[in-house]
């Protein structure tokens, strides 16, 4: 096997220039658990251009050998055994380096400048997997050290602010150094294959788009439910909560892709312009309305699978007096020509009874039920887009049960993406990092999207503070507060799992 500077010599299709990929927070959990395994997978499949280097920046005192030992220790946990091939891994390690640097100290950036020798061919990507409070300091120091030019790219991890004012401040400070076209605000949900398949379903198939509107869609659910608690993120999560941590970014982005108009072309600004229009069309939730159209919950202690799960306020790093929500359900309305009259129900929670992320489009019932005298149940068609744990698409159709009479039962047309495409599935970070290297920002979030989302979220927070200060408790291992069921049932609807159980 031939290597050029430790990188496989095969030039991948559509490859970018050689890259100096710099990770601030290179010894942190995100880098070791997600970014390094993703980069290794891209390397192993010859998708990194020859000459590419990986430079990890952190305050830890590690030479290159010690850093590579740390990478291997964590890779054996987070990279599957079948993909952890010793020859590939040893070659990958040769492109990995560590630079000890305190990101808050501008004078230390000379060490990074020395490590990033300018060969005139490589471009630089700076991935800030660090505290957002450091973003402006890092950007200014990179600029002052002469490490930024017109080809440099910057990747920002969430959270991008904690409210509209802080998000505007982050965007403003970063924009002093980088143009918008150079900034990649990452939301890993947008890198998931089923999320991108949502666009393919809508805009690549003539059977769905004519029906994708209020005239034919009864209601839509978007759920991201987790069985885990806050784990080791208690300190951060207690300042954030489910609304800021999940709804403001992941769920609103999924809502945008579900509700957006067809872009003129599948290119970055055309797609993001349509997403922005959805955010601008969201009906405000403010004041006393939050009591009617939102549910704010917090899990309490319960026995789950034979073990006692502590209440949220007993988790490590969480205040004993905490009123932070771990569950949110919202009734959202999009005031535009396509969707007026069709409610969107958003839901996310921790310590739920099962882990799943899905989008469910409930179509309206048939105009005239000719089988109503046969005892057949009234079941409307549903399109279920499964994001995790399994990736797939399921269309529920009413079909005749074999035998006498015309009794109907819903049966699925089921597309399992793993079965349909028998190849290794890219994880979200692989897709998104590859897009960064190629300069494609279609699946990244623009500054105006971030700020518009926060302008919709902030009144909900204010309404909670004034009218809904204490979350409704729900047992760990349940599907959330009973009020979440009431939220959707008062409109005559049910959550998808309840419908599935009934049928």
DSSP 115-169: HS---SS-EEEEEE-S-GGGHHHHHHHHHHTT---TT-EEEEPSP--SSHHHHHH
pLDDT at 503: 62
pLDDT mean across residues, the chain:
90
Q: Does residue 273 carry a pLDDT above 60?
A: yes
Mean pLDDT for 233-248 is 92
Given the residues 250, 378, 470, 496, the one annotated as active site: 250
What angle, 0 to 180 degrees and rounded to 10, lies between the N-to-C axes of helices 36-44 and 86-93? 110
Distances (CA, A) of 194 to 67, 154, 356, 389, 426: 35, 26, 13, 11, 11
Contact 254, 189 (CB under 8 A): yes
Distances (CA, A) of 336 to 277, 279, 341, 362: 9, 11, 9, 19
Task: Assign residue 179 a region (left: φ > 0; alpha: ψ between -120 and 50; beta: otherwise).
Answer: beta
pLDDT at 5: 37
pLDDT at 9: 36
pLDDT digits (tens, 9 = 90+) for 260-270: 999 999 999 99
Contact 366, 242 (CB under 8 A): no
User: Full-prediction pTM beyond 0.75?
Assistant: yes
**Is 250 marked active-site?**
yes
Report the sign of the C-alpha dihedral through residues 268, 273, 275, 279, in that order.
positive
Distance CA 54, CA 19 (A): 8
Question: What's the N-to-C CA distance of the chain in angstroms?
Answer: 56
The β-bridge partners of 395 are 383, 413
């Amino acid at each position: 096997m031939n290597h050029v500077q430790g990188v496989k010599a095969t030039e991948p299709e559509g490859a970018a220039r050689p890259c100096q990929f710099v990770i601030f927070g290179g010894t942190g959990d995100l880098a070791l658990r997600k970014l390094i395994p993703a980069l290794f997978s891209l390397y192993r499949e010859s998708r990194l251009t020859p000459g590419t280097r990986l430079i990890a920046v952190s305050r830890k005192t590690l030479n290159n050998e010690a850093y590579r030992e740390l990478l291997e220790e964590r890779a054996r946990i987070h990279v599957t055994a079948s993909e952890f091939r010793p020859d590939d891994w040893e070659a990958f390690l040769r492109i990995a380096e560590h630079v000890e640097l305190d990101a808050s100290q501008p004078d230390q950036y000379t060490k990074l400048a020395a490590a990033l020798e300018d060969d005139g061919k490589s471009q630089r990507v700076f991935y800030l997997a660090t505290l957002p409070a450091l973003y402006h300091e890092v950007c200014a120091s990179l600029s002052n050290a002469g490490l930024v030019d017109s080809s440099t790219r910057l990747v920002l991890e969430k959270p991008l602010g904690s409210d509209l004012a802080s998000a505007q401040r982050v965007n403003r400070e970063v924009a002093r150094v980088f143009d918008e076209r150079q900034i990649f605000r990452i939301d890993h949900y947008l890198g998931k294959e089923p999320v991108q398949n949502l666009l393919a379903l809508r805009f690549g198939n003539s059977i769905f788009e004519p029906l994708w509107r209020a005239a034919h869609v009864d209601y839509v659910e978007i759920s991201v439910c987790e069985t885990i608690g806050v784990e080791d993120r208690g300190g951060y999560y207690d300042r954030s909560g489910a609304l800021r941590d999940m709804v403001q970014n992941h769920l609103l982005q999924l809502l945008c892709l579900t509700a957006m108009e067809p872009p003129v072309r599948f290119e970055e600004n055309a797609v993001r312009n349509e997403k922005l229009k959805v955010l601008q069309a969201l009906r405000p939730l403010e004041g006393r309305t939050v009591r009617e159209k939102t549910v704010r919950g917090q899990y309490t202690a319960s026995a789950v699978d034979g073990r006692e799960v502590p209440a949220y306020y007993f988790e490590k790093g969480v205040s004993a007096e905490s009123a932070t929500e771990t569950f949110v359900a919202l009734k959202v309305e999009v005031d535009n020509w396509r969707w007026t009259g069709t409610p969107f129900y958003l839901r996310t929670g921790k310590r739920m009874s099962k882990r799943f992320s899905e989008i469910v489009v409930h179509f309206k019932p048939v105009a005239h039920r000719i089988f109503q005298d046969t005892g057949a149940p009234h079941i409307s068609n549903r399109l279920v887009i499964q994001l995790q744990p399994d990736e797939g698409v399921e269309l529920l159709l009413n079909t005749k049960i074999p035998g006498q009479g015309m009794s109907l039962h819903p049966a699925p047309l089921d597309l399992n993406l793993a079965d349909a495409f028998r190849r290794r599935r890219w994880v979200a970070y692989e897709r998104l990092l590859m897009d960064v290297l190629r300069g494609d920002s279609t699946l990244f979030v623009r500054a105006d999207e971030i700020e518009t989302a926060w302008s919709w979220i902030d009144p909900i927070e204010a309404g909670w503070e004034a009218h809904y200060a204490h979350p409704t408790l729900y047992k760990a291992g349940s599907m959330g507060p009973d009020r979440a069921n009431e939220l959707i049932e008062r409109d005559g609807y049910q959550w998808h799992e309840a419908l599935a159980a009934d049928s």
